[in-house]
Structures are given as structure tokens and as C-alpha cells.
């Protein structure tokens, strides 16, 4: 069996050639990849955020809160529907997990109540038990609603973080209430500011009587006390405003918002849609010379006095902004309010300097590792060792090719996986060489020893590699982020090292055997 | 061509004569590891404990005591500082802050404010309590499943005695690795789990190679005493075991010294694991076979000559 069929040799050579071709774009500087003709492979290994720097944020959306808010407004709707004249007497109107329940006082109102409830929740399930009605979403509807809320949050996040889609931002859904955000080269603090705000904006009238007050004081119905975002009094205590609860115009009616400069100070301009413009016009016309408050997430951004009616539907917010603050506020208003508050539950951000250091360290370790293992193999096996080294080099090229082709992310632990593969990849060769050596000692001729060596080592190699492969697979399934990268390179390395040891070195050994026909193998 | 013979060939070492001492020593070490685990515990990183970690680089040599007193004044609870590779690099660990995610953000902001703008923040990590709980769960699941899957594989490919021996060796390696992390107070985090799983893979790999040979020799030499067969198999595979361990160790040592500070602990765990794994496949996995009724089931296998075995 020292004969290897021609097509096998061609196939192996083709795979190696393809590997070189696929790995070659990695030799080009990243910024020049675009200049590779499209008919050539042009994918580079994609580096993980721990190598190129960037922010990795796991975000939790309080979807349940948003759902509950929805149910509360449903409850509100039911209340007013039942109170509508002729009013229906009811009691214990409350929320249940997936809807509301209400009990009608009088049996004769049942039919009327059923109709009114039906109108409100026409897609929902309406059930009755004696006088008690439940109006609820089906599990499917609930799942859809959750999913919609999360999708909407993702859309808005994308608008905030990567409005021009230039960065390679990755925003992924994870499970039912999580979002994984990965932004290369980002300033994590700004990112967190942009994510952390719901950006619910509204315009309110200010109760003109008092503008500084004690937040704990009781206020009259229909008003609320809100903190000022930037303003403070002389002693550094934040300023509070007494604001009317009624929303004059809501941020939903905003169509555009930009950061500009007015009288040398950064400001934020905004523009309403027609509905908003009309409402804003009415409010400002009726309240000239009175202050009104621009409220963002329950904080007053600014509370200017209306000098004249604003009828054009656009205006300017001149708070206490820095240039960056104005830019971010405009961005937040432009992209809209999040349907649900977001909390960051895991962060892993790497600055560019550490990423660069890690790449450099990874390169050094790979090169030194390769050289050291090569020297050792030469010392241990001589010419056969040299063949193993060639196989090892091809192995590395194939790993790079596979990573580029699969667009798997290379992380720092991933590099560790590669270096480890350098050490372990020679194992398959060692197994074969040791076996050949042994068979030769047992008195076989070189050709028969090589033959027996390969066929006998095969099962051992497969057994040994499969067990490590199991470990890699589980690491991939349960690991997160960088650890996944380690599992990927480890698994790829196992496959390529088996290929190179069993096919590539074998062709080299057999070719050498046939040319030289040695009496004894130098092992 | 005369090669330098690095690894002795054709050895006839009686490994099994040492098996009582070796198994006793392994048992003692495992018990010691367990004792350490109970009394000293593990130095969990933020992955499993929750909290904040910052890696900073200062312009000049970092003055740990002034950083410590600066940060201490913030009232953020327990703060650990550690020089990280270079004189200018410091690793700061802060315990999980109350107040959920915004609490963590406020803490990070405070730290950045007090350390001033001249500091380069090379790494910021924060793991919330919910996530750290999940990471612990995922880590434990992965390790347990891996051990189980490997046991099943060995069982499927060999007889059950091999499965028991392999998993005993595996458990031994995992235990001693955790023990050394406890002893040295090294940070136990996600990459440690990755290291442990890789060690498990490596250790099984090593054991399987010896076992393959044991199985082969059992069929070849049916009348020899089991102990002799085991010894012979160990000697047959010794040069491969050592060679592979050496190349892997070379790669790992280089990773340890040149691979950067971030994966130093990972490399250390792997180095230790390879040493322990090599030892255990020779002195734990194989000698254990001598104590199980291996012959009976091996002889029951289909007859074959000394050439290739028919395998499923």
C-alpha cells in the first residue's frame, strides 16, 4: 500500500493549494483588502474585539416591564369603556400575567360588558366565569409582542450606535430578552451613555409659581416634581421644577433633530411632524411669556420661557450642552425612544493598545513556538522530522485559510489554541513515526514498516483526536466570547493536523521511499 | 545519518512496580486538593463572582499605594490591585456594586475620574451577578458533560474497564489542576475552564494512545500475565508519550513567556495539566487496569491474528 493513487495526490495538492490561496489575503494590510480583485479570495481572518479593541456588551431588555406598561394602558382602556354611559358596575379590575381581569357587579350587564371588552381587545382571548371576565393574550401573541419589543429596541440601538452603518457593529438577539452588542474600536463610555437612556422626550408646561423647590414637598394633583439635568443652585444641589403632568407634545412627533451652534453655543435643533407642529403651535400661542419644560427620561433638560408662538414646527433646545452632549442628544432624539429600558449586564471592552499588544504577543509566540518545535522535531527524527515540519507549516496555512473562509473570529485564546495546535499537531506524526520505527525494529523492510506504521497508527490517531474534539465541541457550546474562539481554532487545528499528518506527510514519506529505496529508514 | 536519541527506545521499565506508591501519592494529592478547595477556596475572577475589572497603563511606573488610597477613598468596597506584566500596568478588581448595572457604571465613572485623564484604560470588564451565575452554570455543565462524553466514547470504543481507568485519570488531572489554582491563589475564570477542558482532552488523548496499545498487546500475548502486558504497552508508547508532551510543553512555555499577560494563567494551567496528564496516563490510568478484571472480557473478544484487528 505504499502506492498512493494519483488522484489522491492531486486532491491533497489541490487542498493545500486552495489553502494557500484562501490564506493569502491575510498577508495584505487590512486597509488594502478592498483592492484585491473580486475573483480572488479576499476574506481576511476576522479579529475578535479582544485583539483589535472594542466594546462587547451584553444588554438585558426589561421586556416584561414594557409588556406590563402595555397591560396597564389596556386596563385604562377597559376602565373607561366600562364607565362609558350607560356605565357598567364593576369591581376588582386588575392585571393578570398575560392580560386583565374584571368582575361585573350585575349579572344583567354581562352581555353588554362582553361586547365592550370585545371591542377593546379584538385580537385577544375573552373568557367568562360567572361574572368574572378575563381578557388576555394567547401565548403566541405574547411571544410575538416580546419579540417585537426586542426587535424594535435593536432597530433603535442600531440607529443610535451606528447611524451611518459604517462601523462593523454587530447587534444580535440572544434569547427572549437579551441583546449582544459588539462594536469595534468604540469608546465604551459613550456607548454606555447612548444605550442607558430610554430617550423618552416630552414637552410640558411648567407651573410658574415656583421653580426651585423641595422634591419631597407634596404637590397639587396634575403636577409633578422633576429634577433638572444640568442646572444646580449655588450649593451644588440640583434644581427642581414643578411640571404639569399633561404632555403637550411628545417626542414621538419629532421627525428630525440636529446639533448646531447658536451664538457660539452648542444647541440642538428639532422639527415636528404636522401633528406635532400644530400642537406645539397651539401650546406656544396660548402660553406666551410662560416657561415650558423639555423633559427627557423624567429629567428637565431646559425650561425656557416662550417668547412668541412657534408655528413652524421647529425649534431649538439650548440647554447647558457641550458640543458632544448636543451631538448625542440630537442623535438620541433622532433615533427615537427605546420601547423598553436597557441594562448592561456584562461588559468586556478592550482598548486599542492592549489589542495591539496581544496581536504582537500572539505573533511572537506562534513564530517562536513553530521554530522551537521544528528544532526539536529535527533533532528527534532528522529527515522525517523535516517532513513533519513542512506538514506543520501547511497545517498553519490551512488553519488560517479555514478561519478566513468560515469568517470565524480569531481571539487571543484562539491564538493560544493555534500555538497549542503547533505543539499537539506533531502528535499524529509522532505516533506514525514511532510506529514505523518499532515495526522496523521488529524486522520489517522499510516499505512494509511504513505501510504498517500508517495503518496501525490510524485508529489510535482517530481515537485520540476525537476525544479532544469532544472537548472542543463542548467548549464551543458552553463557552462565551473569547473562549468560543479558542474552541474554534482548536477544532479546526485538530482537523487540519489529522489531514496533514495522514495525507501530506504520507505523500512525502512515500515519494521519498520510492526515489531513494533505502535499505534502512533513518529513524 | 545518526540522530541524537533524545528519547530512550526499547525501554523495559517496570512502571507497575511503582503503582502502589503512585496511586497512593495521587490519592494524597487529590485529597489535599479537595482540602484546599474546602478551606482556602478558589480565587474566582469576575466571570464567576461578578464585579468590575480594569486594566490600566500609567505614564510612569504605577504607584500602587497611591492608587490604592485614591480608590479606597471612593468607598467601593473591596478593591484588589495587581501589577500586570509591566511596571506601568495595573489590574484593578472591584467587587460587585449595589444598584444593578447603573451602580457599576457609576463606580467605573468614579474610578476614571479619580485616576485622571492620563491613564490608558486597556481593558474594562464588568460582569453582573445574573450573568456570573449563568457563567458558573455553563462552566460546570461543560466540564461535567465533557467528562461524561469522553467516558461514553471510551466505553464505546473499549471495554468498560478502560472507561473507568480513563475517567479516573481525567478526574485526577482536573482535580489537581483546580488544587494548584487554589494553592497558588491564581485567578479562576472562564479561560481556566477552557484550560481544564483542554487538559481533559489532552489527558484522554494520552491515555487513549496507551490503551490502544494495551488492547493490541492483550490480543497478541494471550498467555502473558496482565501486569507484563501493561508494562510492555507503557514501554512501547513511552517515547511517543514523552515526545508529544515535550513538543506541547515547548509550545506552551513559549506561550507562557511570550504570549502576553492576558493568557499567562491559561498557559500556566495548561503546562501543569500536560505534566499531570502525562503522569496520570502512565501511573494512574494504566495501573488501574491491573486491578480490574480485564482479561476475562478481553479474551471474550473475537479471535484475531497478530495483524490488524477488525474494528467497528
HEC-encoded secondary structure of A172-235 = EEECCCEEEEEEECCCHHHHHHHHHCCCCEEEEEECCCCCCCCCCCCCCCCEEEEEEEEEECCC
pLDDT in tens, B258-307: 988 888 888 999 999 999 999 999 999 999 988 887 765 554 444 444 44
Q: Do residues B117 and B63 both lie within one domain? A: yes
B187 or A88, which is more confident: B187
Could you give the strand order of the β-sheet that contains A125-129, starting from the edge strand earlier in sequence? A90-96, A99-104, A132-136, A125-129
More confident site: A209 or B3: A209
Q: A291: which DSSP letter?
A: B
Which domain CATH number covers B100?
A: 3.30.70.3400
Q: Are residues B34 and B177 in the same domain?
A: yes
The reply to whether B75 and B196 lie within a common domain is no
Is A379 in contact with B3 (Cβ distance < 8 A)?
yes
Regarding beta strands A409-410 and A46-47, do their DSSP bridges make them parallel or antiparallel, or are they unpaired? parallel
Chain A residue with the nearest C-alpha to that of B50 = A346
Contact B76, B36 (CB under 8 A): no
* Residue B309 pLDDT: 43
Q: For A23, phi and psi rounded to 5 degrees?
A: -80, -20
Indicate the pairing of strand A299-302 with strand A223-232: parallel
- Residues A229 and A301 sit within 8 Å (Cβ to Cβ): yes
User: Does any CB of chain A come closer than 8 Å to the CB of residue B292?
Assistant: no
Judge if B33 and B63 occupy the same domain. Answer: no
DSSP classification of residue B301: S
- Provide the shortest C-alpha distance from residue B42 to chain A (in Å): 20
Question: What nine digits make up the cell of A177?
Answer: 430578552
Q: Check B101 against A343: CB less than 8 A apart.
A: yes
Q: Do A464 and B209 touch (CB under 8 A)?
A: yes
Is A273 in CB contact (< 8 Å) with chain B? no
Q: Tell me which DSSP letter residue B291 carries.
A: T
Residues B152, B238: one domain?
yes
pLDDT score, position A208: 66
Q: How confident is the model at residue B310, as a pLDDT?
A: 41
- Most confident of the following: A55-64, A85-94, B151-160: A55-64
Residue B193 contacts A, CB cutoff 8 Å:
yes
Tens of pLDDT along A19-43?
999 988 888 777 777 777 777 788 8
* B209 & B261 share domain: yes
Q: How far apart are CA A346 and CA A180, in angstroms?
A: 9
The predicted model gives B51-72 an average pLDDT of 88
End-of-domain residue from the set B127, B144, B165: B127
B22 touches chain A (CB under 8 A): no
**Residue among B166, B205, B235 with most chain A CBs within 10 A, to mutate:** B205
B175 occurs within a structural domain: yes
Interface test with chain A among B259, B274, B310, by most A beta carbons within 10 Å: B259
- Residue A474 has its nearest CB partner, among B100, B145, B212, at B145
Do residues B71 and B187 share a domain? no
The answer to whether residue B312 sits within a structural domain is: no
Whether B184 has a pLDDT exceeding 90, the answer reads: yes
- The rounded distance, in Å, linking the Cα atoms of A21 and A495 is 19
Q: Which of B55, B201, B246 sits opposite A468 (nearest CB)?
A: B201
The reply to whether residue B246 touches residue A376, judged by beta carbons under 8 angstroms, is: yes
What CATH number did the domain enclosing B258 receive? Answer: 1.20.1640.10
B9 found inside a domain: no
Please determine, for residue A79, whether its predicted confidence score (pLDDT) is greater than 70.
yes
Whole-number Å distance between alpha carbons of A361 and A412: 9
Confidence of residue A50 (pLDDT cuts 50, 70, 90): confident
To the nearest whole Å, the CA of A318 is away from the closest chain B CA by 26
Provide the pLDDT for residue B303.
Answer: 44
The nearest alpha carbon in chain A to B125 belongs to A348
pLDDT at residue A372, rounded to an integer? 92
B147 and B231 share one domain: yes
- For the ranges A76-80, A324-328, B17-21, B245-249, the lowest mean pLDDT is seen at A76-80
Q: Please check whether residue B181 lies inside any domain of the structure.
A: yes
Q: Which of B127, B151, B170 is the last residue of a domain?
A: B127
C-alpha span between B96 and B101 (Å, rounded): 10
Q: Which domain holds residue B107?
A: 51-127
Backbone angles phi, psi at B84, to 5 degrees: -125, 85
Statement to judge: residues B197 and B286 lie in one domain: yes
Measured distance CA(A140)–CA(A98) in Å, rounded: 11
Question: Is B252 inside any structural domain?
Answer: yes
CB-based contact, B146 to chain A, within 8 Å: yes
Q: Which of residues 461-490 of A touch B (CB under 8 A)?
A: 463-472, 474-475, 477-480, 482-483, 486-487, 490
Which of residues B127, B152, B180 is at a domain's end? B127
How far apart CA B167 and CA B150 sit, in angstroms, is 8
Which residues in B lie closer than 8 A to residue A422 (C-beta atoms)?
251
- Which residues, numbered 76 to 115 in chain B, qualify as contacts with chain A under a Cβ-Cβ cut-off of 8 Å? 100-102, 104-105, 108-109, 112
- Is the pTM higher than 0.90? no
* B35 interface with A at CB cutoff 8 Å: no
Q: How many domains does chain B have?
A: 2
- Picking from B3, B191, B251, the nearest residue to A413 by CB comes out as B191
Q: Answer whether residue B3 is part of any domain.
A: no
Partnered with residue A249 across adjacent β-strands are A203
Of the partner residues A349, A369, A466, the one whose CB lies closest to the CB of residue B254: A369
Q: Does residue B25 carry a pLDDT above 90?
A: yes
Amino acid at each position: 500500500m505504499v502506492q498512493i493513487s494519483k488522484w489522491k495526490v492531486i486532491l491533497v495538492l489541490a487542498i493545500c493549494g486552495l489553502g494557500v490561496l484562501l490564506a493569502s489575503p491575510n498577508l495584505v494590510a487590512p486597509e488594502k483588502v478592498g483592492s484585491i480583485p473580486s475573483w480572488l479570495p479576499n476574506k481576511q481572518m476576522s479579529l475578535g474585539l479582544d485583539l483589535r479593541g472594542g466594546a462587547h456588551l451584553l444588554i438585558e431588555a426589561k421586556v416584561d416591564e414594557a409588556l406590563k406598561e402595555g397591560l396597564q394602558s389596556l386596563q385604562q382602556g377597559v376602565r373607561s369603556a366600562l364607565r362609558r354611559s350607560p356605565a357598567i358596575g364593576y369591581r376588582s379590575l386588575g392585571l393578570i400575567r398575560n392580560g386583565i381581569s374584571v368582575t361585573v357587579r350585575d349579572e344583567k350587564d354581562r352581555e353588554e360588558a362582553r361586547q365592550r371588552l370585545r371591542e377593546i381587545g379584538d385580537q385577544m382571548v375573552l373568557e367568562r366565569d360567572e361574572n368574572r371576565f378575563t381578557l388576555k393574550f394567547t401565548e403566541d401573541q405574547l411571544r410575538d409582542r416580546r419579540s417585537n419589543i426586542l426587535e424594535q429596541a435593536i432597530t433603535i440601538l442600531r440607529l443610535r450606535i451606528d447611524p451611518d452603518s459604517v462601523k462593523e457593529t454587530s447587534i444580535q438577539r440572544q434569547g427572549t430578552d437579551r441583546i449582544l452588542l459588539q462594536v469595534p474600536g468604540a469608546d465604551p463610555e459613550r456607548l454606555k451613555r447612548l444605550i442607558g437612556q430610554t430617550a423618552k422626550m416630552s414637552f410640558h408646561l411648567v407651573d410658574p409659581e415656583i421653580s426651585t423647590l423641595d422634591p419631597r414637598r407634596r404637590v397639587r394633583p396634575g403636577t409633578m416634581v422633576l429634577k433638572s439635568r444640568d442646572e444646580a443652585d449655588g450649593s451644588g444641589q440640583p434644581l427642581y421644577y414643578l411640571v404639569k403632568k399633561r404632555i403637550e407634545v411628545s417626542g414621538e412627533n419629532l421627525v428630525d433633530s440636529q446639533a448646531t451652534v447658536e451664538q457660539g453655543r452648542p444647541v440642538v435643533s428639532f422639527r415636528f411632524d404636522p401633528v406635532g407642529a400644530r400642537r406645539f403651535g397651539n401650546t406656544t400661542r396660548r402660553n406666551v411669556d410662560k416657561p415650558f419644560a423639555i423633559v427627557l427620561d423624567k429629567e428637565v433638560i431646559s425650561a425656557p420661557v416662550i417668547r412668541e408662538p412657534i408655528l413652524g414646527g421647529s425649534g431649538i433646545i439650548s440647554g447647558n450642552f457641550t458640543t458632544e452632549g448636543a451631538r448625542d442628544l440630537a442623535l438620541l432624539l433622532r433615533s427615537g425612544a427605546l420601547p423598553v429600558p436597557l441594562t448592561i449586564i456584562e461588559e468586556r471592552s478592550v482598548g486599542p493598545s492592549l489589542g495591539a499588544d496581544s496581536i504582537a504577543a500572539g505573533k511572537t509566540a506562534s513564530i517562536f513556538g513553530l521554530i522551537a518545535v521544528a528544532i526539536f522535531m529535527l533533532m528527534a527524527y532528522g529527515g522525517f522530522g523535516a517532513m513533519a515540519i513542512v506538514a506543520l507549516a501547511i497545517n498553519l496555512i490551512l488553519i488560517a485559510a479555514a478561519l478566513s473562509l468560515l469568517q470565524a473570529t480569531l481571539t487571543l485564546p484562539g491564538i493560544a489554541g493555534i500555538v497549542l495546535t503547533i505543539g499537539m499537531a506533531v502528535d499524529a506524526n509522532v505516533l506514525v513515526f514511532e510506529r514505523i520505527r518499532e515495526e522496523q525494529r521488529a524486522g520489517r523492510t522499510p516499505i512494509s514498516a511504513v505501510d504498517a506504521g500508517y495503518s496501525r497508527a490510524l485508529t489510535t490517531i482517530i481515537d485520540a483526536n476525537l476525544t479532544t474534539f469532544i472537548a472542543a465541541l463542548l467548549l464551543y457550546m458552553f463557552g462565551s466570547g473569547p473562549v468560543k474562539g479558542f474552541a474554534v481554532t482548536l477544532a479546526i487545528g485538530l482537523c487540519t493536523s489529522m489531514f496533514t499528518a495522514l495525507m501530506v506527510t504520507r505523500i512525502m514519506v512515500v515519494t521519498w521511499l520510492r526515489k531513494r529505496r533505502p535499505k534502512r529508514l533513518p529513524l | 545519518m545518526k540522530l541524537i536519541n533524545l528519547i530512550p527506545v526499547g525501554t523495559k521499565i517496570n512502571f507497575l512496580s511503582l503503582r502502589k506508591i503512585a496511586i497512593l501519592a495521587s490519592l494524597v494529592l487529590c485529597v489535599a486538593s479537595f482540602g484546599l478547595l474546602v478551606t482556602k477556596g478558589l480565587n474566582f475572577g469576575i466571570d464567576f463572582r461578578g464585579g468590575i475589572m480594569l486594566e490600566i497603563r500609567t505614564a510612569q511606573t504605577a504607584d500602587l499605594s497611591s492608587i490604592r488610597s485614591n480608590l479606597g477613598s471612593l468607598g467601593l468596597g473591596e478593591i484588589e490591585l495587581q501589577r500586570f506584566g509591566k511596571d506601568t500596568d495595573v489590574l484593578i478588581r472591584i467587587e460587585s456594586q449595589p444598584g444593578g448595572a447603573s451602580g457599576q457604571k457609576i463606580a467605573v465613572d468614579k474610578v476614571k475620574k479619580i485616576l485622571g485623564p492620563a491613564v490608558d484604560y486597556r481593558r474594562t470588564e464588568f460582569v453582573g451577578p445574573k450573568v456570573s451565575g449563568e457563567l458558573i452554570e455553563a462552566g460546570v455543565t461543560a466540564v461535567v458533560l465533557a467528562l461524561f462524553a469522553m467516558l461514553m466514547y471510551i466505553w464505546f470504543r473499549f471495554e468498560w474497564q478502560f472507561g473507568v481507568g480513563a475517567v479516573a485519570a481525567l478526574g485526577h488531572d482536573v482535580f489537581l489542576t483546580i488544587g494548584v489554582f487554589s494553592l497558588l491563589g491564581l485567578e479562576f475564570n472562564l479561560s481556566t475552564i477552557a484550560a481544564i477542558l483542554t487538559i481533559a482532552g489532552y489527558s484522554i488523548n494520552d491515555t487513549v494512545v496507551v490503551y490502544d496499545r494495551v488492547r493490541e498487546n492483550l490480543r497478541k500475548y494471550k498467555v502473558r500475565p496482565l501486569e507484563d502486558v501493561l508494562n510492555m504497552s507503557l514501554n512501547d508508547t513511552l517515547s511517543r508519550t514523552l515526545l508529544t508532551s515535550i513538543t506541547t510543553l515547548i509550545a506552551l512555555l513559549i506561550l507562557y513567556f511570550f504570549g502576553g499577560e492576558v493568557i499567562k494563567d491559561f498557559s500556566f494551567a495548561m503546562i501543569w495539566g500536560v505534566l499531570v496528564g502525562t503522569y496520570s496516563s502512565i501511573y494512574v490510568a494504566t495501573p488501574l487496569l491491573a486491578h480490574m478484571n480485564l482479561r476475562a472480557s478481553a479474551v471474550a473478544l473475537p479471535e484475531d491474528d497478530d495483524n490488524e484487528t477488525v474494528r467497528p
